[in-house]
Structure formats: C-alpha cells, structure tokens
C-alpha cells in the first residue's frame, strides 16, 4: 500500500483542475438528506466498479488484490453511511445515473487497451474529487458530528486515487499513463464546471 508521502507526491503531481465551488457546499447543507443518500449510493457503486475489475481482469493479480481491498472498504463505508441514515430516518435513493460519471465515461476509449487504461484512470479521478469534497465537508459542515464523520472518510479514502493510478502504471507505460491522465484531468475539471450544484455528491 502507498505511504502518505507517495499519496502527497501524487496529488501534487496531478492536481485537480478547478476547485469545488462554494455553491456546492451551500446546496449540500440545504439538501443534506439527499446528499447523504447520494453518498451512500456512490459508495455502493464504487464497490461494484472495483469488483467489475476483478471479474474482467483476473489475469492481473495486483489489480485484483487492490480492487478487492478497495471494494471491501467501499462496502464498509456504505454500511457506515447507511447506519447514520437510519439514525436520522434518511431514506435510501432508488438507483439513478450520475450525470458527472456519465459525462466523464463518455470520453473513455472503446478499444480494449484504451478502455482498460481509461477506466482505471477515471476511477482515480473520481476518487480524487471525492477526497477533495470529503475534506471540504470535514472543515465546513456546520454540524460538528458531520465534520467528524467526514474527517474519517477523508483519511480512509485518501489513498484510493493513487491506488488506481499506480495499478495503471504496472500495466501500461508511464508516458502513456501520464499523458492520458492529464487529458482526463481536463475532462473531469470541465465536467465539474458544467454540472450545476444540486446537493448531490457530484
């Protein structure tokens, strides 16, 4: 697993394009039951995505190890969020498509090699944006309980973005990975800019 120094170096080398707007936090606070339910849905979907790597790429044992570990963490996080939701009587949401995810995935290449690399790097980007937003919640949510709750998520998930990027480096050449990752960073940043804040996670 990566060290904190590895993760810090990675985030410095590949900073997100554009910061999450203050309007996002305002909408989250105003629609908090919706946000928490959407957070739970995102943890569930992240778990499923990780297990999809395990199913599709069993000939990459390092990826299987990493993806299955993260899947277990994401499932644990779903349960953490769901337990909090039950305390506050917040309902789960029916399954819905995420506009942000769909917008980024629309740029994933269709050839097998390109698709494999892009899916790993898109997972890295999604985790990076999630980490940024967990940090915002841990610092700016008006309720101390939720600040503490999201501080745990920030620290627990901080290495996930690096993990998927690192797996891509084991499979593809560093130059190809880094060039494509920088292009996808621009795409992710543009997606965040184009999608209005609604109170959901993305």
* Residue 38, domain CATH: 1.20.1260.10
How many separate domains does the chain show? 1
Task: Determine, yes or no, domain membership for 99.
Answer: yes
Task: Determine, yes or no, domain membership for 13.
Answer: no
Task: Determine, yes or no, domain membership for 107.
Answer: yes
Distance CA 188, CA 183 (A): 9
Provide the pLDDT confidence category of residue 196 given band limits of 50, 70 and 90. Answer: very high
Per-residue pLDDT averaged across 61-67, rounded? Answer: 98
Task: Determine, yes or no, domain membership for 201.
Answer: no
Distance CA 13, CA 74 (A): 25
Per-residue pLDDT averaged across 89-104, rounded? Answer: 94
Task: Determine, yes or no, domain membership for 159.
Answer: yes
pLDDT digits (tens, 9 = 90+) for 39-57: 999 999 999 999 999 999 9
The H-assigned helical ranges of the chain are: 4-13, 22-30, 32-56, 61-88, 99-105, 112-140, 144-157, 160-171, 174-194
Provide the pLDDT confidence category of residue 89 given band limits of 50, 70 and 90. Answer: very high
Could you count the other beta carbons within 10 Å of the beta carbon of residue 43?
Answer: 24
Task: Determine, yes or no, domain membership for 93.
Answer: yes
Task: Determine, yes or no, domain membership for 69.
Answer: yes
Query: Whole domain around residue 158: which residue ranges?
Result: 4-8+23-194
Task: Determine, yes or no, domain membership for 15.
Answer: no
Res 90 pLDDT > 90: yes
pLDDT digits (tens, 9 = 90+) for 165-186: 999 999 999 999 999 999 999 9
Query: How many residues are present in the chain?
Result: 202
């Amino acid at each position: 697993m990566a060290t904190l120094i590895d993760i810090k170096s990675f985030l410095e080398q590949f900073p997100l394009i554009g910061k999450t707007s203050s309007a996002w936090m305002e909408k989250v606070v105003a629609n908090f039951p919706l946000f928490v339910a959407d957070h739970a849905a995102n943890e569930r979907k992240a778990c499923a995505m990780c297990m999809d790597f395990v199913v599709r790429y069993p000939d990459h044992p390092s990826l299987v190890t990493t993806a299955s570990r993260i899947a277990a963490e994401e499932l644990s996080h779903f349960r953490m969020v769901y337990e909090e939701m039950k305390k506050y009587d917040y309902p789960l949401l029916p399954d819905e498509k995420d506009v942000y995810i769909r917008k980024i995935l629309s740029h994933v290449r269709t050839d097998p090699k390109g698709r494999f690399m892009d899916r790993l790097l898109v997972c890295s980007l999604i985790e990076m944006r999630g980490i940024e937003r967990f940090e915002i919640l841990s610092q700016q949510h008006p309720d101390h309980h939720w600040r503490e709750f999201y501080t745990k998520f920030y620290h627990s998930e901080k290495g996930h973005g690096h993990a998927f990027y690192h797996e891509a480096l084991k499979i593809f050449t560093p130059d190809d990975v880094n060039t494509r990752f920088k292009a996808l960073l621009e795409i992710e940043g543009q997606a965040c800019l184009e999608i209005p804040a609604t109170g959901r996670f993305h």
